[in-house]
Amino acid sequence: MEFLYFLLLLIAGIISVVAIVISVVFIYLTVNAGFMNTSPSVPSSGKVRDALISDVAARLEKSTESLTVMDLGSGWGTLLLPLAHRFPQHKFVGIEYSRLPYAVSCLRAHKLANMRFLRQDFFKTDISSADIIFLFLLPSTMQKLADKCHNELKKGTLIYANRFKLPSTEPAQTISLGSDYYTYYIYEM
């Protein structure tokens, strides 16, 4: 009887240690996910996400050449992954600095030959090959990114900016889906 009691205590102890290790790893990944250096990973609202995907899908369907679509601060991959599944002839690149969203995105995209996620600082990433870019970043980050876009992007590149404008650049189109919260801007470089 004492042996059984000892065995149950041992199993409970092992389960507790495993739970603590998993919790510590999760907390480490969350805290060390780049939140100190970058914007938090906040997905686009469903309404705007669907509109952005629909708009870009219409452009991709019309294209006779292979286009490159980038998402700077791609988070969980909610914009790029549906497009990559639907359009295997085009290339999709997500740039994400935060470890946890990056890891989840990579897992979700592991079978897609036309999709890749890079864990890096998009300020240090060459974006010159992009034909279409998604941005959903804080205004302070958009301010810093404006010069990079003007200096590196080729003529005709489209930028879809969710909710926050690209400073000192006039959008070609403003799409409002009911309020400022549900607004995105399209820029043509």
User: What confidence tens digit (pLDDT) does each residue in 144-189 have?
Assistant: 899 999 999 999 999 999 989 999 899 999 999 988 788 999 999 9
Tens digit of pLDDT for each residue in 57-68?
999 999 999 999
pLDDT of res. 57: 98
Count of beta carbons in the 10 Å neighbourhood of residue 166: 21
Check: CB of residue 127 under 8 Å from CB of residue 153. yes
Distance (Å) of CA 134 to CA 34, 123, 158:
20, 14, 9
| Architecture of the 46-188 domain | 3-Layer(aba) Sandwich (3.40)
Can you give the residue ranges of every domain in the chain? 1-31, 46-188
